[in-house]
Amino acid sequence: MATRAKYSRIVLKLSGEALAGDAGFGIDPKIIQSIAKQIKEIVELGVEVAVVVGAGNIWRGKIGSEMGMDRATADYMGMLATVMNALALQDGLEKIGVETRVQTSIEMRQVAEPYIRRRAIRHLEKKRVVIFAAGTGNPYFSTDTTAALRAAEIEAEVILMAKNKVDGVYSADPRVDRNAVKYTQLSYLDVLNEGLGVMDSTASSLCMDNDIPLIVFSITEPGNIKRVVQGEEIGTIVRGK
């Protein structure tokens, strides 16, 4: 097995669900510890790590709008919820000696730095983990789109999409359909045409147009982030047209 990293700069996309553990909601401190340890392992390999956090464990704009709320307001709530997850992850990382910075797309200077691209890159060069919070700062977008956008901006080589208990992309939901088949490789057009629930279409198009590969894998097994970074093919890789 390779001991060196295959990538020098990555974006790790953590859905809110990945932070929730078995409860399915909220933040599980044990999960935060496990993820922080896994991130530390790749920082020690010399990989520059930017993290984009979601908020499905706390709030999704869509749910609010289905309950009759104004969609944009509900989306802003979702973006604020990502900041809570970012702070929890920052705390977990700093507790084990990993230097971090949180940058938010909605300014809240008492809590974190505002998102400034050049500054984020500088932090990465100094081997600080940069956690991007508050999504893109715009309603009607997702944190998957944020991951695609930030990856393009900071010139990351790949997006690692860490899933909770799902180890890649399947033809159907493997938790529901026993005949679901796991794909090892897909193109973005496959994802878009077949409506595979990997990421939303805005995020997929952005990745496709900017040639950013995506690796979908399970974060449930400790050490998986390192495996992916070292080039082990354990999930599904999405790239190209």
Residue ranges in contact with ligand UDP by CB under 6 A = 15-17, 54-56, 60-62, 75, 78-79, 82, 135-136, 138-139, 141-144, 146
Least Å from the CB of residue 24 to ligand UDP: 12
Tell me whether residue 5 or residue 130 sits nearer to ligand UDP (CB atom).
130
Least Å from the CB of residue 135 to ligand UDP: 2
Least Å from the CB of residue 77 to ligand UDP: 7
Tell me whether residue 175 or residue 241 sits nearer to ligand UDP (CB atom).
175
Tell me whether residue 60 or residue 227 sits nearer to ligand UDP (CB atom).
60
Residue 37 CA to residue 109 CA, distance in Å, equals: 27
User: Two tokens at 18?
Assistant: 């990945």
- The CA distances from residue 195 to 191, 205, 209, in Å, are 6, 13, 18
Exposed e or buried b per residue across 226-237, where buried means at least 16 C-beta atoms within 10 angstroms of its C-beta: bbbbbeeeebbb
Tell me whether residue 66 or residue 209 sits nearer to ligand UDP (CB atom).
66
User: Two tokens at 136?
Assistant: 């893109």
Least Å from the CB of residue 57 to ligand UDP: 6
Collect all residues with Cβ–Cβ distance below 8 Å to 4 and sequence separation of at least 6. 45, 230
Q: How many CB atoms lie within 10 A of CB 8?
A: 13
Residue 190 CA to residue 161 CA, distance in Å, equals: 17
Residue 169 CA to residue 161 CA, distance in Å, equals: 11
Give the residue closest to ligand UDP by C-beta.
54
Tell me whether residue 205 or residue 232 sits nearer to ligand UDP (CB atom).
205
In the chain, the amino acid numbered 68 is: G
- The CA distances from residue 165 to 19, 173, 174, 175, 219, in Å, are 12, 12, 10, 9, 7
Least Å from the CB of residue 16 to ligand UDP: 3
Tell me whether residue 16 or residue 168 sits nearer to ligand UDP (CB atom).
16
Least Å from the CB of residue 128 to ligand UDP: 23
User: Two tokens at 224?
Assistant: 């998986």
